[in-house]
Amino acid sequence: MSQGKAQRLMLRTCDPPYMRVADVLLDLDTEANPAANAMYIILKDEYEWKWPDRNKHLMGWKDNREEFVREVDEDDGIYRDRMRRWQRWPQLKSKRQEQWLRCAIITFRALDYLSTVTKKG
């Protein structure tokens, strides 16, 4: 553990793109991922990294068959588009969850690293 890496991690909280921990409107694509990626580049050799498996996130997903019933006022195109979105939703949600978890893991490791370096002086 080094002071140089600790200083570079601290700058990730000050210089854009930065991770705003208390911000409930944090955007995954423009803020969380870029900040996490920048922190990961600094820390990648310090830890053994294990990432979430997107195939396991939605194992409990259940299709609501009522959603597949065609509405009275839907034409073929609208119905087909709605079904395509409905069928893709589990994969899209799982991918986003995996990305958020990856950001959380990296941020946790960065904060832990900073805490350890600070305590060691």
pTM for the predicted model, two decimal places: 0.64
User: Cα separation of 90 and 59, whole Å?
Assistant: 10
28-74 tens-digit pLDDT: 999 899 999 999 999 999 999 988 876 766 655 566 667 677 888 88
User: Cα separation of 69 and 86, whole Å?
Assistant: 12
Angle, CA 72 vertex, CA 66 and CA 74 arms, to 5°: 95
User: Cα separation of 106 and 99, whole Å?
Assistant: 11
Within 10 A of 53 (CB to CB), how many other CB atoms are there? 10
Whether residue 82 is predicted with pLDDT greater than 90 in this model: the reply is: no
Contact criterion met (CB below 8 Å) for 49 and 115: no
